Amino acid sequence: MDKEAIRQNLIKRLKSHNPADKEKLDKLLLDDITASEAYHTSQVLATYLAFSFEYDTQPLIERAVRDGKKVLVPRTCSQGKMVFASYHPEHLIKGRFGILEPDSSRETAEPSEIDLIHVPGLAFNAEGFRIGYGGGYYDRYLADFKGRTVSTVYAWQRLDFKEDAHDVAVMEVFSQ
């Protein structure tokens, strides 16, 4: 199966996921990520604002803020670029993909300022390579990123597929 077919199958499955089961798994995944060494040693966490059918990142954001971490979320830019800016709920606008993102008044962070990036994805293989939504934003950003990377997915999102030459593996993938 090619990446586009995998992508479409997983989006369909995610959208039909039982909400009560999803909530339980999201809590377990939150426990996994917040118990990790990568989380405990980070001061600056970059994460994403999720689609309703993805792992719910809002509890992670709230926990990181309570834990005294600086939280960053992505903003997409022209030419397939992405930057991370400070998370402030009052300064979020709908971005080009229908997801909330920081407005352009928010100061962006340099990659070297970020300790840990929580990376989204639809599927992950055993080596930590991912299938995302097809825009390549994270692969381009992570190509030169020197910090740690983690992801959270449901167990059925762990698949066997061949990565492409431009793909960048995530260091640690938590699944439930």
Output the known binding site for substrate. 49, 54
For residues 137 and 87, give the distance between their C-alpha atoms in angstroms, rounded to a whole number. Answer: 19
Task: Tell me how far apart the alpha carbons of residues 140 and 133 are, in angstroms, rounded to a whole number.
Answer: 13
Q: Closest Cα partner for 141 from 94, 72, 65, 57?
A: 72
Distance CA 59, CA 118 (A): 13
Place of tokens 């990377």: 149
Phi, psi of 95 (to 5 degrees): -90, -175
Q: How far apart, in whole angstroms, are the C-alpha atoms of residue 11 and residue 82?
A: 22
Helix (H) or strand (E) holding 28: helix 19-35
Q: Residues comprising the binding site?
A: 3-7, 49, 54, 130-138
- Reported as half-sphere exposure (CB side, CA atoms, 13 A), residue 17 has a value of 24
**Tokens, residue 81:** 């670029």
Q: Which residues are annotated as a binding site for ATP?
A: 3-7, 130-138
